[in-house]
């Protein structure tokens, strides 16, 4: 029985190296090793520094990919940071506190954050930036609106997968619930939302934004006792951000309109009198 001669020829080292790096899931080293080798040769670096540079590149790229995965898993409606937030537009907001919270030590301590203020003052921007900071520090985050979360919970209950959804919500390090108070909740919806907050009490951090002061939350949940129990849990270990002021979005809209060029008036000359008029 004869065998093909090609079967006895070993694969070239470069092919084998590429195969092994893919098996080990080291795509950055696979992509960069030749370029880094050329740089190391030019600079006279030894093999240890060459390998160190390759491993550093792999670690940096791996961390970047992990952050991107956490951001996708969080389901942010937009990715926002504090670099684009105008703190001067909301004088009531405690900027030093917000920037300190961006270090995410409150998540480790399982504290909560509640941002209160009228519409358009940047509450969503702040909670998105805090969520992004948590993702960048290796923490799992989930973002939702209050109405959207209640819808998910009721749908899961009807499909008999409520326990699984509740476990998923309880497992994330940071849960962001935006726009509490914009839509009144049914009795069932209020009870399901209360259960989520209750399960996270002292087990995980929660950020809540609302356009209503605490004394008006009963109108959302429809039950004074339930509202009291909810506030007791949310405010046990809490950082409150006061964000009342002129609408941030309205102010930006006015500024954009002021920058738009105004139409110039046309001049006309009366043929009989020679007077110039504007139209």
Closest CA to 203 of 240, 164, 162, 170: 170
Q: Are 125 and 85 in contact (CB under 8 A)?
A: yes
Strands 267-269 and 276-278 come out as antiparallel
- pLDDT for the residue 248: 61
Sheet strands (E) in the chain:
112-116, 141-145, 174-180, 205-210, 238-242, 267-269, 276-278
- pLDDT for the residue 1: 47
- Flag residues of the chain having pLDDT under 70: 1-11, 248-279
Q: Tokens for 163?
A: 């326990």
pLDDT tens, 13-47? 889 989 999 999 989 989 998 999 899 889 999 99
Q: What are phi and psi of 171, to 5 degrees?
A: -80, -25
Q: Tokens for 43?
A: 């600079």
Q: Are 279 and 268 in contact (CB under 8 A)?
A: yes
> ∠ at Cα 268 (267, 274), nearest 5°?
120
The burial class, CB within 10 Å (0-12 / 13-18 / 19+), for 47 is exposed
- pLDDT for the residue 13: 87
3-state SS record for 244-257: CCCCHHHHHHHHHH
């Amino acid at each position: 029985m004869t065998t093909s001669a090609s079967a006895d020829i070993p694969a070239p080292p470069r092919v084998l190296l590429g195969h092994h790096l893919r098996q080990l899931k080291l795509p950055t080293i696979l992509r960069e090793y030749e370029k880094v080798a050329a740089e190391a040769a030019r600079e006279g670096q030894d093999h240890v520094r060459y390998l160190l540079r390759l491993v550093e590149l792999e670690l940096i790229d791996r961390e970047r990919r992990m952050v991107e995965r956490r951001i996708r898993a969080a389901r942010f409606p937009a990715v926002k940071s504090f670099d684009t937030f105008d703190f001067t537009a909301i004088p009531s907001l405690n900027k030093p506190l917000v920037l300190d919270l961006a270090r995410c030590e409150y998540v480790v301590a399982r504290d909560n954050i509640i941002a209160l203020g009228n519409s358009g003052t940047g509450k969503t921007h702040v909670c998105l930036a805090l969520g992004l900071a948590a993702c960048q520090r290796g923490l799992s985050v989930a973002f939702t609106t209050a109405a959207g979360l209640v819808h998910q919970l009721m749908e899961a209950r009807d499909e008999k997968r409520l326990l699984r959804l509740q476990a998923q919500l309880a497992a994330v390090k940071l849960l962001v619930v935006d726009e509490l108070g914009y839509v009144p909740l049914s009795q069932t919806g209020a009870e399901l939302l209360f259960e989520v907050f209750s399960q996270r009490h002292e087990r995980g951090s929660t950020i809540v934004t609302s356009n209503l002061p605490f004394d008006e939350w009963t109108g959302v949940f429809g039950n004074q006792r339930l509202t009291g129990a909810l506030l007791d849990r949310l405010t046990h270990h809490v950082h409150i951000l006061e964000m009342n002021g002129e609408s941030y979005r309205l102010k930006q809209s006015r500024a954009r309109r002021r920058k738009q060029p105004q139409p110039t008036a046309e001049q006309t000359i009366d043929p009989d009198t020679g007077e110039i008029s504007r139209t």
